[in-house]
Structure 1
Amino acid sequence: MIEYLYLGRVAYDDALRIQAEVAALRLAGVIENTLLLLEHPPVLTLGRNASRANVLASDELLSQRGVTLHEINRGGDVTYHGPGQLVGYPIFDLRSLQNSRGGRLGPVDFVRLMEEALIRLCGVYGVRAGRIAGLTGVWCGLHDSQPGPARERKIAAIGIHVSRGITSHGFAFNVSTDLRDFQLINPCGITDKPVTSLNLEVPPDVTIPSLENVAHQAASQFGHVFAQQVLAIDSLDTLRAHAEARENFPANDTPLQTPTEVHRLHGEPDRPIDA
Structure 2
Amino acid sequence: MILSVLDLGRLDYATGLALQKTLVELRHQQRIGNVLLLLEHPPVLTLGRNSSRSNILASDEMLAARDVEVHEINRGGDVTYHGPGQLVGYPIFDLRSFSPRLGAVDYVRKLEEVLIRACGDYGVRTQRIAGRTGVWTFAGGSVQEKKIAAIGVHISRGITSHGFALNVTTDLRDFNLIVPCGIADRDVTSLELEAENAPTMEGVMHTVSRYFGQVFDLQILWLESLEDLLPDPAKGSAQDTPLSIPNEVKRLRGEKETHFA
Give TM-score scaled by structure 2 length. 0.87
Query: Which residue number in structure 2 is paired with residue 237 of structure 1?
Result: 227
Residue 160 in structure 1 maps to residue 153 in structure 2: yes
| Structure 1 residues 199 and 75: alpha-carbon distance in aligned structure 2, compared to 1, 3 A threshold | same
SS of equivalent to 1:125: coil
Amino acid at match of 1:167: T
Match of 1:117 among 88, 100, 114: 114
1:32 CA drift (Å): 1.3
Query: Which residue number in structure 1 is paired with residue 191 of structure 2?
Result: 198
Query: Which residue number in structure 2 is paired with residue 209 of structure 1?
Result: 199
1:213 CA drift (Å): 1.9
What are the equivalent positions in structure 2 for 1:80-159 lying under 5 Å apart? 80-98=81-99, 102=100, 104-142=101-139, 144=140, 146=141, 150-159=143-152
Residue 171 in structure 1 maps to residue 164 in structure 2: yes
**Identity across the alignment (%):** 61
SS of equivalent to 1:23: helix
Unaligned runs of 5+ in 2: 238-261
Query: Which residue number in structure 2 is paired with residue 57 of structure 1?
Result: 58
Per-residue Cα deviation, 1:171-218 (whole angstroms, up to 9, x for no partner): 000000000000000000000100000000012xx2x22212211211
8 A Cα contact 1:157 1:173, kept in partner? yes
1:83 CA drift (Å): 0.2
Unaligned runs of 5+ in 1: 249-275
8 A Cα contact 1:45 1:79, kept in partner? yes
Residue 33 in structure 1 maps to residue 26 in structure 2: no
Query: Which residue number in structure 2 is paired with residue 66 of structure 1?
Result: 67
Give TM-score scaled by structure 1 length. 0.83
Per-residue Cα deviation, 1:79-99 (whole angstroms, up to 9, x for no partner): 00000000000000010123x
| Structure 1 residues 246 and 165: alpha-carbon distance in aligned structure 2, compared to 1, 3 A threshold | farther
Distance 2:158 2:38 in 1: 21
Per-residue Cα deviation, 1:129-182 (whole angstroms, up to 9, x for no partner): 11111100000124x3x26xx521000000000111100000000000000000
Aligned pair count reads 236
1:22 CA drift (Å): 1.1
Distance 1:40 1:63 in 2: 16
Distance 1:237 1:81 in 2: 26
Amino acid at match of 1:10: L
Match of 2:212 among 222, 232, 237: 222
Distance 1:246 1:225 in 2: 34
RMSD of the TM alignment (CA)? 1.5
8 A Cα contact 1:5 1:235, kept in partner? yes
8 A Cα contact 1:79 1:188, kept in partner? yes
1:245 CA drift (Å): 8.8
Amino acid at match of 2:168: V
Segments ≥4 residues shifted beyond 6 Å: none
8 A Cα contact 1:6 1:212, kept in partner? no
Distance 1:26 1:235 in 2: 18
